[in-house]
């Protein structure tokens, strides 16, 4: 279907959903969509937030947003200060419906895109990556723990059973 016809149909669908006071959201594992009334959506949204977060009334996100660049500048982190200045004040939330479960509860997804948290996190990640880490418990390759522990227990991994069969 040509792109122009698709966009018209999409606009019609969006308009129809709005007119019927319905909400459309992704459904979890199937990759499909779920449609529900705005009232049901609101109830499930509130429940998902209540299940995953607690209210913190002592923090003002806008005040913290203003403070973040100042703190970075105080520590001579000019690049970090510049990156956090024009960011959103809070993390954003969105939902998907767990259609494989009864009553379709919401999965709450937190996004840090466009926030100072992401900017600061990336800055710290890049800065800390330069430090040499000598961690005796670090696992650098998948399967390393199997080679360490399995010979002592006499157990085998499923791949050893498949590839090392003597038939």
| Distance set, CA 62 to CA 33, 85, 120 (Å) | 34, 11, 17
163 occurs within a structural domain: no
81 occurs within a structural domain: yes
Q: Which domain holds residue 81?
A: 6-130
Tally of CA atoms within 13 A in the half-sphere of 2 that contains its CB: 3
How many domains in the chain? 1
Q: For 27-36, 52-61, 80-89, which range has the lowest pLDDT when averaged over its residues?
A: 80-89
Residue 57 CB-density burial (10 A; 0-12 exposed, 13-18 middle, 19+ buried): exposed
Report the alpha-carbon distance of residue 24 to residue 106 in Å, rounded. Answer: 13
147 occurs within a structural domain: no
Query: Model confidence over 36-52: pLDDT tens digits?
Result: 999 999 999 999 999 99
157 occurs within a structural domain: no
Question: Percent of the chain, pLDDT > 90?
Answer: 14
């Amino acid at each position: 279907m040509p792109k122009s016809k698709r966009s018209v149909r999409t606009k019609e669908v969006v308009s129809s959903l709005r007119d019927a006071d319905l909400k459309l959201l992704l459904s979890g594992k199937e990759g499909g969509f779920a449609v529900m009334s705005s009232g049901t959506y609101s109830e499930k949204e509130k429940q998902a937030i209540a299940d995953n977060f607690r209210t913190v009334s002592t923090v003002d996100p806008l005040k913290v947003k203003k403070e973040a660049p100042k703190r970075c500048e105080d520590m001579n982190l000019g690049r970090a200060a510049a990156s956090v200045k024009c960011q959103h004040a809070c993390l954003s939330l969105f939902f998907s419906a767990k259609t494989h479960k009864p009553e379709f509860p919401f999965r709450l997804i937190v996004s840090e895109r466009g926030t100072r948290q992401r900017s600061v996190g990336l800055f710290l990640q890049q800065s800390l990556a330069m430090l040499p880490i000598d961690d005796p418990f670090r696992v650098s390759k998948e399967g390393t723990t199997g080679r360490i522990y399995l010979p002592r227990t006499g157990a085998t991994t499923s791949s050893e059973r498949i590839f090392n069969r003597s038939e």
